[in-house]
Amino acid sequence: MFVASGYPFADVLWTMLVFFAWVIWVSLVVMVLLDNFRRHDHSGLAKAGWTVFIIFVPLFGVLLYMITRSSEADAVLT
């Protein structure tokens, strides 16, 4: 008998989708946290606040950080 005969192909695809979405999400959180700590226009309190917000409310924290990040910050980083 085949070992994977009880695990249909659709379940394999769903598992792969969930796994890669999780990997993308973790990498996005890491990139946002790195960007937060590299910014020179934030004070220490602002960096701590964003970090706590991203850790405790990750979905809204990351999306809000990416939306509210000013365009001047792009010019500073380049």
pTM of the predicted model over 0.85: no
54 within domain boundaries? yes
Does residue 74 belong to any structural domain of this protein? Answer: no
Q: Could you list the residue range(s) of the whole structural domain that residue 46 is in?
A: 3-69
Domain count along the chain: 1
Dump pLDDT digits (tens) for 9-59: 888 899 999 999 999 999 999 999 999 999 888 899 999 999 999 999 988
Distances (CA, A) of 78 to 39, 69, 71, 73, 75: 12, 15, 11, 9, 5
Query: Is 75 inside a domain boundary?
Result: no
CA quadruple 61, 66, 71, 73: dihedral positive or negative?
positive
